[in-house]
Structure 1
Amino acid sequence: MHQIVFGTSGWRGILCEDFTFENVKIVTQAIADHVASIGERGKGIIVAYDTRFMGERFAKETARVLAGSGIKAYFCKRDTPTPVIAFEIMRRGTAGAINFTASHNPPEYNGIKFSPSWAGPALPETTKDIERRANEMLGEVCYREMALDEAVRAGLVEEIDPREQYLADLETKIDFAAIASLGAIAVNPLYGTGRGYLEVPLMKHGANVRTFNMNRDPYFGGFPPEPSEKYIQDFIGLVKNDSEIKLGIATDGDADRFGIVDGDGTFIEPNYIIALLLDYLVRFRKMTGAVARSVATSHLVDAVAKKHGIEVIETPVGFKYVGELISQDRIIIGGEESAGLSIKGHVPEKDGILACFLVAEMVAREGMPVKALLERLYGEVGKFVTKRENITLSPSLETGYAAKQQQAPAEFAGLKVKEHVTVDGSKFILEDGSWLLFRKSGTEPVVRLYGEASGEAKLAAVMAAGKAFILG
């Protein structure tokens, strides 16, 4: 029997294999018991889902189990973005939310993401308690449930639609009037929950909007719903071939990640967007505070921070750590290389919708395409080129991987190791500022190799040295 294991963003599994109605009810009961144990039973829990197969059905079963434990379920009427759920947790003051999403994973996956009352992704101490409770129940019918119509009559299930309140809040944080002056904007929610959140406020303010992939499709057009260069080639082509489009914006399946396509069809890496927005928020909005980035995120962020005299906080991978700093009001912006960010005064959760609008506002107010803004920034702080590669390990290499990390060489590609960072995995800062990061997957025999250097040739040499170290 599959054990329940929460990763960086919840428990995910393949439909009909480990992600079953029985296991969903067990995990829901574990969450209900956890919430009761910390004295928050009376606050209620938001129940939501994205556009994946069976999302509504799983959500209804969850509402029944919560009702069986006397916990009110605020049931979202339609598929809802993850950041909107976080906003609604804060607005209503609930004990948290249970969201059925597997984010950018392929369509055969679904998942449960629990966000506690502070509205960010659950921290390890929370997920460990839920895991323990769930795994103790596996194989037993020990969840409590109530018929849905009975739960509604008892006031334990209430339908909600948090869209209007969230969009009204965005009106206070985004200069939509400036965006409307930009020209044509292409919008791509990738068949996911961003429908009605990306295009509606733009149209309301008179922006010229081109929409793509706006229908709900659990297959996500045959690709994982990830707004990366690899999976949005159709969108990139559309932007490139329409001379009127000045910017393309996209979100993933649950709208917590973003993808940016410049007007000429160039895909802009999320790493660089975080640094550009930091610079923009400091210069145009005069925002103050530190900046947070994950250990795998570009040091272009650090260079911008140095330019402005700002502290950099390096976190483990997982937005929960960045979100905690947002909730403490310590940082201007926090982000991850995997296209997640949020800003001061907003939700402590990745928000792809907010990110897209911030980029559009930046381009409009700066009067320059994203590529030009990036080149200007490189001229001020230096150039940074990043790459990530997954390396599959043989059984023998996997067995010896941990020991190898303890015997790392003193140099890579002829560059001496200046610092060894162990915040999350093994990160080696080299004498010229280049760096390598090795992170072992917790679920498969794969090492994720990240690298950064000041140019393509140097990065290729550093990455080759890192790969040789792992496979040697």
Structure 2
Amino acid sequence: MDTPISFGTDGWRATLDEFTSPRVQIVGQAVADYLREVEDRAGETVAVSYDARETSRGFAEDLCRVLAANGFDVLIPERDTPTPILAWTLVDRDLAGGLMITASHNPPEYNGVKFIPSDGAPALPEVTDEIMARLAEPDPLPESEHGRVSEEDLVAPYADHAFDLVDADFEDLSVVYDAMHGSGRGVTDELLEEAGASVECLRCERDPEFGGSSPEPSEENLQELVAAVEDGDADLGIANDGDADRIAVVTPERGFLDENLFFAALYEYLLEADSGSAIRTVSTTFLIDRIAEKHGEEVHETPVGFKWVAQAIADHDALVGGEESGGFTIRGHIREKDGVLMALLAAAIAAERPFDDRVDDLLAEFGEIHQNKISLDCPDDEKERVLADLEAELPDEVAGHDVADVVTKDGFKILLDDGSWLLVRPSGTEPAMRIYAEGESDDRVRDLLDAGTELVEPLI
């Protein structure tokens, strides 16, 4: 092997010169051995799914062959399917575990694989460490002991569950849906239509090249969706990333809605009918804390990575968990981010009251919140040193305000005496250091990001 197989924040991803069929089969063997030796689930059923990339179905079939040759029955969907639907299927059918072939929002020259445990939540490091310790060439059992591979539709049972969770009656709602050529096409849009919404589709044809860009639902990649909502008469725009585990929302007045503001609107909406704490990552807005305080609820902060959000949801029976990158889930559902279910919830929120009105009132009550982030290139093998050097250089003042506290759950989150904050942490998926900032205005956020850059760049 040229580069070691390594499970990061959300599985192993690599470019197609490294992510090859023989190496995928090695991962399949490791998972088979893990399920047999650690989970004691030999001979049970494993589900394997895949996204819309050109190579994904073939890699999924590689995994099916290895798992079946190790005595597992294997379930594979008829077509590329969103990651959260695979995760929900594991829980619904009490399967031994699942493997998803996806590089999520990465460009088309990437692919990836992630293991999902039987509880449907992202695998924690102790699980992925056990899998990496078992990486080995395929070791098939005698053919008489091989399992069966069967192909099924996974969407219909999931849809029934989603409608049980969301009070879906969107008869007067007009939605523009952007699938970004990913696995949400024909799934998210059809669920919205089934709930009564009028849906206009953008990029809802399968294109393994994603139109020549990344299926990343960022503001710059969703300008066609923004224009369709702002220039038309739609009430709402919704986009999913490549494997539909994340959501982005567009409103008529704001255009691209900051994911932090979506989280705030979602939490407030859920609190109208229920109670419970919220889970957020260190990079996610303090607006969630202000809403929780008003309702007598708590907020629990985690490192970046939905696996930590999922663990905290279990620990605290939280009502909602989310992160500023567009990943959310709710109580009663799987502990995995789900852009399909969130699309239904976004439509439910908009059907009750326009998003812009709700967000206006939240900001009027709790104060303006602005956030942004930047990335600085940093080799993976330099990240620990940069963090160590930064610890020795932490200032007493940033962008004109005193440091009130420093949180070290994930990198360094510098809390300032005006309520703003600056976060520096290593990316878990790219060779980069991330710098995040939150403040009461865009100008304040720019000042914080400039200060963060001046602090970190000389250390790289």
Write the distance in 1 (CA, Å) between the matches of 2:381 and 2:455: 14
Matched residue of 2:284: which SS? coil
- Per-residue CA deviations over 1:260-294 (Å, capped at 9, x if unaligned) read 011246100111111111011102x2x12210001
Please state how far the C-alpha of 1:64 moved relative to its aligned partner: 0.7
Residue 416 (str. 1) matches residue 405 (str. 2)? no
Query: Is the contact between residue 70 and residue 146 of structure 2 (CA under 8 Å) also seen in structure 1?
Result: no
Does 339-348 or 389-398 show the bigger shift? Answer: 389-398
Query: Is the contact between residue 64 and residue 145 of structure 1 (CA under 8 Å) also seen in structure 2?
Result: no
Matched residue of 1:345: which SS? coil
Match of 1:312 in 2: 299
Q: 1:201 aligns with which of 191, 197, 217?
A: 191
Please state how far the C-alpha of 1:338 moved relative to its aligned partner: 0.8
Q: 1:346 aligns with which of 327, 333, 337?
A: 333
- Per-residue CA deviations over 1:39-78 (Å, capped at 9, x if unaligned) read 0223321011010121111111111100111111111111
Residue 449 (str. 1) matches residue 435 (str. 2)? yes
Please state how far the C-alpha of 1:441 moved relative to its aligned partner: 3.0
Match of 2:373 in 1: 388
Matched residue of 2:425: which SS? strand
Match of 2:270 in 1: 281
- Per-residue CA deviations over 1:282-328 (Å, capped at 9, x if unaligned) read 02x2x122100011111111111111111111011110111223345
Structure 2 counterpart of 1:225, one-letter code: P
Match of 1:190 in 2: 180
Residue 181 (str. 1) matches residue 175 (str. 2)? no
Residue 440 (str. 1) matches residue 430 (str. 2)? no
Write the distance in 2 (CA, Å) between the matches of 1:412 and 1:87: 44
Write the distance in 1 (CA, Å) between the matches of 2:361 and 2:294: 13
Matched residue of 2:363: which SS? helix
Please state how far the C-alpha of 1:393 moved relative to its aligned partner: 4.7
After superposition, residues 7-22 of structure 1 pair within 5 angstroms as 7-15=8-16, 17-22=17-22
Write the distance in 1 (CA, Å) between the matches of 2:83 and 2:316: 20
Write the distance in 1 (CA, Å) between the matches of 2:431 and 2:41: 39
Identity %: 39
Change in 2 beyond 3 A, CA 1:380/1:208? same
- Per-residue CA deviations over 1:119-153 (Å, capped at 9, x if unaligned) read 1110000011111222xx3xxxx313489xx79x9
Structure 1 counterpart of 2:171, one-letter code: A
Write the distance in 2 (CA, Å) between the matches of 1:394 and 1:127: 22
Q: 2:446 aligns with which of 429, 451, 460?
A: 460
Write the distance in 2 (CA, Å) between the matches of 1:351 and 1:63: 24
Residue 245 (str. 1) matches residue 227 (str. 2)? no
Structure 2 counterpart of 1:92, one-letter code: R
Write the distance in 2 (CA, Å) between the matches of 1:274 and 1:321: 17
Match of 1:218 in 2: 208
Please state how far the C-alpha of 1:329 moved relative to its aligned partner: 6.4
Match of 1:144 in 2: 139
Match of 1:89 in 2: 90
Please state how far the C-alpha of 1:372 moved relative to its aligned partner: 2.4
Change in 2 beyond 3 A, CA 1:270/1:396? closer
Write the distance in 2 (CA, Å) between the matches of 1:170 and 1:333: 16
Residue 469 (str. 1) matches residue 426 (str. 2)? no
Matched residue of 2:29: which SS? helix
Write the distance in 1 (CA, Å) between the matches of 2:386 and 2:414: 19
TM-score by length of 1: 0.92
Write the distance in 2 (CA, Å) between the matches of 1:6 and 1:396: 15
5+ residue gaps, structure 2, are none
Match of 1:257 in 2: 246
Write the distance in 1 (CA, Å) between the matches of 2:196 and 2:318: 32
Between Structure 1 and Structure 2, how many residues are aligned? 455
Does 402-411 or 349-358 show the bigger shift? Answer: 402-411
Match of 1:109 in 2: 110
Please state how far the C-alpha of 1:406 moved relative to its aligned partner: 3.0
Write the distance in 2 (CA, Å) between the matches of 1:174 and 1:96: 26
Please state how far the C-alpha of 1:442 moved relative to its aligned partner: 5.1
Change in 2 beyond 3 A, CA 1:74/1:328? farther
Please state how far the C-alpha of 1:205 moved relative to its aligned partner: 3.5
Query: Is the contact between residue 277 and residue 316 of structure 2 (CA under 8 Å) also seen in structure 1?
Result: no
Change in 2 beyond 3 A, CA 1:404/1:327? closer
Query: Is the contact between residue 294 and residue 317 of structure 1 (CA under 8 Å) also seen in structure 2?
Result: yes
TM-score by length of 2: 0.94
Residue 361 (str. 1) matches residue 348 (str. 2)? yes
Structure 1 counterpart of 2:67, one-letter code: L
Please state how far the C-alpha of 1:444 moved relative to its aligned partner: 5.3
Match of 1:236 in 2: 226
Residue 166 (str. 1) matches residue 158 (str. 2)? yes
Change in 2 beyond 3 A, CA 1:397/1:66? closer
Write the distance in 2 (CA, Å) between the matches of 1:348 and 1:41: 25
Change in 2 beyond 3 A, CA 1:229/1:37? same
Please state how far the C-alpha of 1:248 moved relative to its aligned partner: 0.7
Write the distance in 1 (CA, Å) between the matches of 2:152 and 2:315: 28
Match of 1:66 in 2: 67
Please state how far the C-alpha of 1:159 moved relative to its aligned partner: 1.4
- Per-residue CA deviations over 1:319-360 (Å, capped at 9, x if unaligned) read 011122334561010001110000000111000111122111
Structure 2 counterpart of 1:387, one-letter code: N
Match of 1:35 in 2: 35
Please state how far the C-alpha of 1:2 moved relative to its aligned partner: 1.2
After superposition, residues 362-381 of structure 1 pair within 5 angstroms as 362-366=349-353, 368=354, 370-381=355-366
Match of 1:296 in 2: 283
Write the distance in 1 (CA, Å) between the matches of 2:156 and 2:125: 32
Structure 2 counterpart of 1:322, one-letter code: V
Please state how far the C-alpha of 1:212 moved relative to its aligned partner: 1.3
- Per-residue CA deviations over 1:375-413 (Å, capped at 9, x if unaligned) read 110111111110100123599996555222233011101
5+ residue gaps, structure 1, are none
